[in-house]
Amino acid sequence: MDILVFKYNYTTKFILPLLFKDFPDYNKLFKEPFIDAYIADMANKNNDDKIHLLFADYPSLAFQQLLPKPLSEYKRKEGYVFIYDTPNKYKDDYLKFLVGNYSKFTEDAKTKILSFWQAESDTILKGVLYKKGNKIKEFYKKSLDVDLDEFAPSAEWWAQPNIEQEILGLI
């Protein structure tokens, strides 16, 4: 699966995988009433810069056992929110995420993200993280008629997050 072409926001695509030590199969996440992950909640600002997982309904006990223990949880009109700290070893990756520096993530973070999404082969996601690969080049050529080989070497191969979409309740 190439998660980058699905409806989820960037927090789900790039940061969510960093929460888990070992998550057996991302499909289990989507079988639950998972909606999206966020970096903040407008209705609960004391948890800014924490990872918010929003579920349409309370997750099953079996699924909760796969999740790290949340710092807190609360209900809002859209569903249930579980709050997590970004693991310490990924704090710098989180900061790089905020400005869209995906290729500058640590090797550990890149591996974890690719493994979580089962995207280790030539995928758009891998192309974004490593700034190489045929799938990402084909995607840009077909979708936008853009040749990535003409990008400046310092340019990232994916847009930085739209913060409005990464904060729960902002849009």
Q: What is the DSSP string of 58-97?
A: PPPHHHHTTSPPPSEEEEETTEEEEEEPPPGGGHHHHHHH
Q: pTM for the full model? A: 0.92
Burial of 149 (0-12, 13-18, 19+ CB in 10 A): exposed
Give the C-alpha separation, 136 to 158, whole Å: 10
The answer to whether residues 73 and 82 touch, using CB atoms and an 8 Å cutoff, is yes
**Mean of pLDDT values over 114-126:** 90
Least confident range from 20-34, 42-56, 95-109, 137-151: namely 20-34
What residue ranges in the chain does DSSP mark as E strands?
34-38, 40-41, 51-55, 72-76, 79-84, 167-168
pLDDT for 1: 59
Give the C-alpha separation, 111 to 102, whole Å: 12
Q: Which residues of 35-50 are buried (b: 16+ CB within 10 A; e: fewer)?
A: bbbbbbbeebeebeeb
**Mean of pLDDT values over 43-63:** 90
User: In the predicted model, is pLDDT for residue 171 greater than 80?
Assistant: no
pLDDT for 121: 85
CB half-sphere exposure, 140, CA atoms < 13 A? 21
Look at phi and psi of residue 60 and say left if phi exceeds 0, alpha if psi is from -120 to 50, else beta: beta
pLDDT for 151: 86
Give the C-alpha separation, 21 to 10, whole Å: 20
How many residues are given for the chain?
A: 171
